[in-house]
Every structure is written in structure tokens, then in C-alpha cells.
Amino acid sequence: MVSAQETLLVAGLGLPLACFVVLALLGSRLGKPLAGWFAAAGIGASTVLAAIVLYRWYGLGEAGASRGRMEWARIGGVPVTVGIQLDGLSVVMFFMVTLVSTCIFVFSIGYMAGHSDEVDGRSKYARFFAFLSLFCFSMLGLVLSDSLLFLFVFWELVGLCSYFLIGFYFHRRSATDAAIKAFVVNRVGDCGFLVGLMMVAAYLGDFSIDGAAARFRAQWPDGELFTRSFAGVSLATWMGVLLFCGAIGKSAQFPLHVWLPDAMEGPTPVSALIHAATMVAAGVYLVARIFLLLTPGAQAFIAWIGCLTLLIGALIAIVQTDIKRLLAYSTISQLGYMIFGMGVGAWIGALFHLLVHAFFKALMFLGSGQVIEGTHHEQDMRRMGGLIRRMPVTGVTFLVGVLAIAGAGLPGVHVGGKRIGVGGFFSKDEILAVAYQRTLAGDQSPSGDGIVSASEGGRGDGRIESALSGANGALNAHPSVPVPPPRRLPRVLFLVAVAVAYVTPFYMMRGWWMTFMGTPRDEEVYRRAHESSLMYVPLVALAVGTVVAGYAVFRPMVARAAPPGFLVRTFDPEGASGHAESLAQPIAPEVSHALEWYLAPAAFAGMLLAVAIYRRGLDRAARLAARLRPVHAALVNRLYFDAVYHAVFVRGVMVLKSVSCWVDTRIVDGLVNGAGWLVRGASWAAGRVLDRSGVAGSPGAEPEEPAGRVAGAAVFLASVALAAGLWVRGAPAGAFFVLIAVWVLLGIDGIVNDLGRGAIAVADAVRRPQTGRIRHYLLFAAGAAAAGMVLFVIV
């Protein structure tokens, strides 16, 4: 049976799709503002439905709903079902996606009101909202999919929408290049994802997320996944790593992060929705979903990737001058934090950060969109400055975003039992706290409230827990099985993550200050700047959401999405303990504040440094850059990733394709044409030499050529001799084939002549040659050959 929630979610999923279909077919009839409002109404209705589901889920505490599943197809013997993953995580994600989308749709109506919807002078207004709607459908489908295959399907579809929307201004070469880059780079990751799916099909035989996890668990420790290895790494780890490859592409992780900054070619609302809040976070969502398929080895890999990404993103962000690219690199860095959090086992922290980040990053992107639209498409922060006087709402809300990403808060201060801080103050802290325990404190037992036995504490509606319980009845039967501590990760991971927490506030405050404070550096830009009311309503909504919702709403929700006691268990087959599970997140239900005394100062120190440098314009920064020229140059060139990739991969494929084409036309086709020429030449020669009537086109009787006749006779005799030899040696078929082959090569007519000559009289040396039509002989001989061949075959 399909539960009420599922019905509501399916309706919420269907609305954007319906909007897409209507807009795709009738969009141009609806006209300019109407098409946008239509789409916004669709997603708005979805948001309402999502809110109802959320309320029922969390407000009423309804227990796990029944699943309506339908078989979609079978891949060989593996069934693929389609169903809804109904649990806390999907419900919260669904709500977040619809809510942020609604804000951005409304913002887009304002953004597109001017000439921003024009592609090469033609309005593509409906197309924009059609693709936005299709994106919402795909993203919501991704969140709701309960099978990895469907997750992959929607995964590709969001990529498609991203492609179309990055390339929205498709008359610009840079936009289409960026769109292709995004799609192809994502495909590289998806290729790994696909291989991971192959492993899931082959070794687990079940694509449903819960089913796969159960079978994965059942494989341990004797299953093929754990006993076999490739390149020294167990197949189980490979599977996790390969599935994670999808996340590397989509969440712009090192080494596939290069597409995201270029993706800023799209309209700014698209950047806010797809390339900051939702789609790029899908990778984190994927890791959260497949968490139970990750071995410690795979987790360590994920942690390393995340750590490198958060470092690279933050470093490059320092030198960005384009406001959108600055935000893009900061997104990469923040996604790195989330992936890093997943890798170290901070399941809750990473998802918490995902939700909070969706709000504050969408807020900042929309703010930048307001700036860009208000200044008539100026994106260079070096030409801005002082804009807060022209756009106060934008400036202030943007500052809220900056404080949130910086993780600003007041450590140690409680007001009514609550702590004071914004966004990252809580979520980043949580990730880092877990990282601390997994790296520096890894070998010691985590603090008392962390270790809980497997099924202790709390309600039985933990969805991940239920996924495990089926396959692991033994554990449930013995609730007091001690859970061993996780393996320790290298401490450099933690140190880098903390260090970058000092860099983040710096580059964000730098961007804000360059844009909104100081003196205007370009009078023209300053004069044009203005705010549009339709656009700042969503800004205020998101700002309020960032401040209030983060801690008060999302943290408890995510916590409820996880199993009771935050026990997200995972496999540790390689661990010394020999237990099937290790504790992934030994954190108590309350938010950790272990590191708040380190992080809050970091936020303020970073921001103050930025203000100190940029307070009086860009001169001081320029002097600093000159002093650190090699470093600065490397950062400005994005650490040369793009250049190297272009030189190696793009050029490599270009060379490969040229070589293939050359081989095809010169060698493969050359052989074919060569064979054709050979046959023509041979038949010409045979006609010349053996058929004295001459080839077609020279009908006149040619003089006798005794030499040719002698040659023909000699070859004939030689082939007969060879055939006789083979016959004697017991290979009659071989003999036959030699005769046929030699004669065919020499020319059929000659053979016939020779045969005829032998039959009549050898002495008659001056006999006129037979003049037959070569075609008749050819047919006759081919028929005879085929018949003879078959006779020999069956003998």
C-alpha cells in the first residue's frame, strides 16, 4: 500500500514535471511574466506538500510508512524496482529543495524581468522556467529514489538540466563550452558510478538502497566482496569508491572540480539553485545514502578527497575577483567539508552542513545576482565597492551569509539553553569534532555519551537502523554487543580542515568588503546599481532561514533522520577488532561544541584580516600579491588544473580521434580499396595473359602470346603438383583449396583455357584461344567451387 505521505510526495514530484511539460509545449503562449509565475506556483505547491509531509513526519511522529514498490524491469535476473525512499533524510531534503527552489523561482521572475532572458536577441523566457521545473523534478526524483539505478537515472537528468541551464545563453561560445565541460566532466565521474553499479548488480544483485545494504552486510566476512581483492584493495572498498566517483563529479570534488567555476556562465538564479544549493549537494546525499556500503577504506578515501577539495577550493577562492567565481570556489570548498565529514563518519554533521549551506549559499548567490542584475551585468568586484549604500537589503543579507559560512558565533554563551551562532558555527563544528575524534583521539574511547550499544536508546523508527536489522538479527538479539572504536585516520586531515576554517572567513569577508564597502571604484557601476523588490523578498526569506532554521530546525531534523543515538554503523572488516561494525559517529544527540573555542575566533580573525587588508581599497592587497608572486600566480591560474587537463585529456582525445580517423580511412578502408584494386589488377592481368581475347574494351583479336601461355601452363602444373602432394599427405581438402585458390588468383579464364587445352590436344599449339565471356566462366567456376567445397566439407 502506498501511504498518504508517499502520495503527497509523488504529487510534489509530479507538479514540476507537469509544469515542465506545459511550459515546453505552451510556454511561448503563456508569455513573459505568466510562464514564470506558473512555474513558481507549481514548485510552491510542491513546497506546501513537502511541508505537510514534514509536519506529519516530525510533528506527529508517524512511524515508518509502508512502501509501495513496483517492478520496473529486470536486468537478467536482477529486479529493478521503483519506489519511494521515505525516511527522515529524504523528507528533509525534499523540503529543503522545494523551499529553496521556490525562493529562487520567485527571484528568477525578477531577474528575468529585464533583458536577461534574451538569447541572441530572442526571449527564451519560457524555456528558462521549463528547464528549471525539469530540474526540480529531477532533483526531487533523485532524493526520493529508493534504488541506486533510479538514483543514477535522476542523477543524469539533473546533469542534463545543468547542461541546458549553464548553456542558457547558448549564443555565447563560453557558455556552451562550459556546459559541455560540465556534462563531460560529470560523465567521467558517472562512468565510475556506472562501474560501481555494475559491481552492485554483480555482487549484491539488488539495486534498492536498503536491500543492497542488507546483502552487503550478509556478505561479510566470507562473501566474494570481502574475500577477493583487486590491486590490493578489497572489492567491497572498490565498490564504495567507484560509487563515490559519481559524487566526485557532481559535487565538484578534486580532481573533477574544474567544471563548477565555469558553470557560472549560466544565469545567476541557476547558479544559486543548481550549482550551490541542490544539485552539487547531491553527491553528499549519495554518500549519505550508500553509507552502509562503505568500508573504512572507502571512507578514508572519501575523507582524503574531501580534505583536498576543501583546501584547493579555499586557496583558489582567495584570489578570485569575479563575484560568482568567488562563490563557486567557496562552494567547492564547503562541499569538500561535507564530503570530508562523510568520510570521517560525521553523517549528521555533513548533512546538517548541507542543509545550512543550501540556504546561506543560495542567499549569497541570489545576492550576487541582485548585484549583477542591478549593475547591468558587472561581475568584477574590482569595479564595485560601496554598493551597500545603493543596495542595503542585499548588502545586509549577504553579510548574514558571510557570517554563516564563516561560522560566526559566541562561544560559551547560552541564552535560554541555546547557543548563539549562525550556520557553520554549528555544522562545521560538528564535522570537525568528529574529525578530531577520528584522527587525534582515535585510539582512545570517545567520550562517554558517544558509545551506545547497537539498539540502545530511543525510538524504533530509525530508518537506517531498520535497514540493518533484517540482515543482522543477531545484533538485535544481543543489544549489548560492544561496538569497537573506529580506526584512526591521519591527523593531517583534521589539521587541514581546521586551518581552512580560518581561510574561509577571510575570503568571504574579502569578497563582501570589495563589493559593498569602501569607496566606489567605478562611478558608472555605482550609479547604475539598484535593487528590485521582487528579488529581495526571497533574499530576506533565505536570510531568516539561515539564521533561525539552521540550528533550530535542521539540526534536530537531521538528527531524527539518523538512527537513535546517532549510531550510524558501518563495516570494519579490515579493522583489528574483527567486529562487523564500527562506530561511525560517536557523537551524542546534543550538538557538539568541542571546538567552538577554536572556530569562533577563527571566524572573527579571518574576517578582521580581510577588513584590515581591503579597508582602504585594493592597493595593499596588490602589494601583498606582488610579494607572493609565485603563489599568487599559481592561485590565479587555478593551480593549473584546467591547463593540465586540457593538455593531457582534451588534447589526448583529440590526438586519439585523429589517429582513429586516419587508421579508418588509410588502413582499414585502404585495405578494402586495395583489395578492390588488386582484384581489378589481377583480372586485368589474367585477361591480358591468359585470356587472349583481351579484357573488356579491347575486343580485337590480339596476337598470340606464347610466353603467357607457357606461364599459365606452368602455374597450372605447379598447383596440380602441390595439390597432389597435399593429397598424398592426407589432406584432400587442403589440396582442393590450393587448386581453387591458385586458379582464382590466376584468372578463371586461364584455367578453363588450360583445362580445355589439356582436354583437346596439347600438340595443337597454334589453336585460336577460346573467346568466352568471363562472366560465364566465373559463375560456373564459383558454383563448382562452392559445390566442391561443400562436398569436401561433408565428406
Partner 1 sequence: MEGHLLNWIVFLPAIGAVGCAAAPTRRGIRLVAVVTTGLTMLLSLALFQHFAWWRDGAEAVFGREYGDRLYEVTRIPWIRVGQFQIEYFVGIDGLSFPLVILTTVITFLACVASWNFDEWPIRRGMRGYFVLFLLLETGMLGVFVALDFFLFYVFWELMLLPMYFLIGVWGGPRKEYAAIKFFLYTLAGSVLMLVVLIAFYFKSVAAGLPTLSLIEYATNPAIRAEFARPVPFLFGSWNWPIVMFVFLFIAFAIKVPVVPFHTWLPDAHVEAPTPISMILAGILLKMGGYGLLRISYPILPTAARHETVAFVLASLGVVSILYGALCAMAQRDFKKLVAYSSVSHMGYVLLGTAIMTDAGVQGAMFQMVAHGITSPMAFFLVGVIYDRAHTRDLDRLGGLWLSMPVYGSLATLGFFALLGLPGLCGFIGEVWVLLGTFSAAQEHAWMTWARPMAVLAATGVILTAGYVLWMIQRVYLGPQREELRHLPEATGREVFVLTPLAVLAVALGVLPAHTLFRFMDGTLQNLVSHVAATG
By the criterion CB under 8 A, which residues form the site for partner 1? Answer: 24, 71-78, 119-120, 122, 149, 152-157, 160, 163, 167, 170-171, 173, 176-177, 179-180, 183-184, 187-188, 190-191, 194-195, 197-199, 201-202, 653, 656-658, 660-661, 664, 668-669, 672, 676, 730-731, 733-734, 737, 782, 786-787, 789-790, 793-795
Helix axis angle, 347-374 to 88-111, nearest 10°? 0
Q: Grid coordinates representing 216?
A: 552487503
Instruction: Count the neighbouring beta carbons within 10 Å of the beta carbon of residue 697.
Output: 6
Give the nearest distance from C-beta 124 to partner 1 in angstroms. 9
Give the nearest distance from C-beta 794 to partner 1 in angstroms. 4
Closer CB to partner 1, residue 195 or residue 233? 195
Beta bridge partners of 421: 409
Query: Is 311 strand, coil or helix?
Result: helix
Give the nearest distance from C-beta 415 to partner 1 in angstroms. 49
Give the nearest distance from C-beta 593 to partner 1 in angstroms. 44
Give the nearest distance from C-beta 366 to partner 1 in angstroms. 27
| CA angle 41–46–50, rounded 5-degree value | 145
Burial 203-230, CB ≥16 within 10 A → b, else e: bbebbbbbbbbbbbbebbeebebbeeee
Give the nearest distance from C-beta 164 to partner 1 in angstroms. 8
Closer CB to partner 1, residue 608 or residue 654? 654
Distance of CA 61 to CAs 53, 430, 461, 463, 560, Å? Answer: 11, 25, 9, 13, 10
Q: Which ranges of 167-234 does DSSP label H, i.e. alpha helix? A: 173-199, 209-219, 224-227
Q: Which ranges of 422-532 does DSSP label H, i.e. alpha helix? A: 424-439, 463-471, 473-477, 491-516, 523-528
Closer CB to partner 1, residue 155 or residue 507? 155
Q: In this structure, are strands 229-230 and 233-234 parallel, antiparallel, or unpaired?
A: antiparallel
Give the nearest distance from C-beta 281 to partner 1 in angstroms. 20
Asked whether 105 and 27 are in contact (CB, 8 A), the reply is: no
Closer CB to partner 1, residue 125 or residue 425? 125
Closer CB to partner 1, residue 762 or residue 793? 793
Asked whether 531 and 370 are in contact (CB, 8 A), the reply is: yes
DSSP codes, 503-546: HHHHHHHHHHHHHHSS--S-HHHHHH----HHHHHHHHHHHHII
Give the nearest distance from C-beta 153 to partner 1 in angstroms. 4
Distance of CA 716 to CAs 740, 758, 760, Å? Answer: 11, 11, 16
Closer CB to partner 1, residue 52 or residue 119? 119
Closer CB to partner 1, residue 128 or residue 154? 154
Rounded to whole angstroms, how far apart are CA atoms 767 and 764?
6
Closer CB to partner 1, residue 25 or residue 552? 25
Give the nearest distance from C-beta 675 to partner 1 in angstroms. 10
Rounded to whole angstroms, how far apart are CA atoms 525 and 521?
8
Closer CB to partner 1, residue 202 or residue 644? 202
Give the nearest distance from C-beta 39 to partner 1 in angstroms. 18
Query: Is 1 strand, coil or helix?
Result: coil
Closer CB to partner 1, residue 270 or residue 356? 270
Query: Of 507, 535, 176, 521, which is closest to residue 368 (Cα–Cα)?
Result: 535
Give the nearest distance from C-beta 8 to partner 1 in angstroms. 22
Asked whether 324 and 379 are in contact (CB, 8 A), the reply is: yes
Asked whether 358 and 297 are in contact (CB, 8 A), the reply is: no
Give the nearest distance from C-beta 665 to partner 1 in angstroms. 8
Closer CB to partner 1, residue 197 or residue 517? 197
Q: In this structure, are strands 409-415 and 418-421 parallel, antiparallel, or unpaired?
A: antiparallel
Give the nearest distance from C-beta 154 to partner 1 in angstroms. 8
Rounded to whole angstroms, how far apart are CA atoms 170 and 339?
32
Query: Is 158 strand, coil or helix?
Result: helix
Residues in the chain: 795
Helix axis angle, 323-344 to 347-374, nearest 10°? 180
Closer CB to partner 1, residue 170 or residue 598? 170
Give the nearest distance from C-beta 401 to partner 1 in angstroms. 33
Closer CB to partner 1, residue 64 or residue 205? 205
Closer CB to partner 1, residue 377 or residue 530? 377
